[in-house]
């Protein structure tokens, strides 16, 4: 999926990558969509574990930022989002996963996030995690396809902002 996109994915290609005969793919997964759903659920579980670990770390915002600005994950996440446009099963899982990640982030960050000089209405964990997720995803996607102009500068700005909040 990372190399050719989910649209080019076939049971034969999956079997070839796994060193199996393609019939075995259908033995374990009745349809290609079943395989994609299982793959997506495994990816979401790993991603959620990484986010949870990041939020438990000594510098949670920095670690959260690192998870969301990873170019390898950005490409795969983009493919899963494309799938969500065409598959109700993936779409519903994506919605649930997205809300779960936000809830987890808010619960963890709200504990030690605000400082007296900050306005709770303007600078709050929800806004910050949304901004980090959005900027990180764009940087990851652009980096994956070779666009890097301005990346060092935006990373420096994000790091500075995070330093102010942690």
CA distance 147 to 88: 32
- 71-83 pLDDT tens trace: 888 888 888 888 8
Span of 39-43, 94-98, 101-105, 158-162 with lowest mean pLDDT: 101-105
- 101-112 pLDDT tens trace: 888 877 777 776
**pLDDT band at residue 116 under the 50/70/90 scheme:** low
Report the candidate in 101, 125, 100, 127 with the shortest Cα–Cα distance to residue 115.
125
CB atoms within 10 A of CB 36: 21
The pLDDT mean for the chain works out to 86
- 126-155 pLDDT tens trace: 888 889 989 999 998 898 889 999 999 999
């Amino acid at each position: 999926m990372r190399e050719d996109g989910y649209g080019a994915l076939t049971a034969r290609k999956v079997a070839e990558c796994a060193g199996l005969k393609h019939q075995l793919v259908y033995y374990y997964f009745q349809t290609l969509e079943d395989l994609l759903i299982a793959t997506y659920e495994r990816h979401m579980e790993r991603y959620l574990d990484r986010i949870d670990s990041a939020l438990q770390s000594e510098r949670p915002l920095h670690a959260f930022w690192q998870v969301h600005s990873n170019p390898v994950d950005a490409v795969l996440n983009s493919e899963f989002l494309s799938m969500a446009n065409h598959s109700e099963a993936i779409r519903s899982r994506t919605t649930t996963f997205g809300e779960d990640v936000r809830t987890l982030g808010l619960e963890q960050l709200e504990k030690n996030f605000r400082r007296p000089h900050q306005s709770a209405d303007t600078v709050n964990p929800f806004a910050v995690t949304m901004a980090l997720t959005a900027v990180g995803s764009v940087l990851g996607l652009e980096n994956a396809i070779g666009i890097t102009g301005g990346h060092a500068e935006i990373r420096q700005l994000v790091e500075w902002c995070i330093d102010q909040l942690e």
